Amino acid sequence: MLSETRNPLVRAYTTWSILFFLTGALCGATATFGYQHWTAQPKTVRADDFRHQYTKMMRDRLKLDDAQLKSLDAALDQTKARVEAVHKEYDPALQAIREDQYATICSFLNPTQKAEYDRIRAERKQKH
Question: pLDDT tens for residues 73-127?
Answer: 999 999 999 999 999 999 999 999 999 999 999 999 999 999 999 999 999 888 8
Cβ-contact 121, 105 below 8 angstroms: no
Ranges assigned E (strand) in the chain: none
φ/ψ of 110, rounded to 5, equals -80, 170
- pTM, entire model: 0.49
Q: Is it the case that residue 4 has pLDDT exceeding 80?
A: no
Q: Where is 52: in which H helix or E strand?
A: helix 47-62
CA pair distance 74, 92, nearest whole angstrom? 28
Max CA pair span of the chain: 85
Q: Where are the domains of the chain?
A: 1-40
| Angle ∠(69,71,73) on CA atoms, nearest 5 | 70
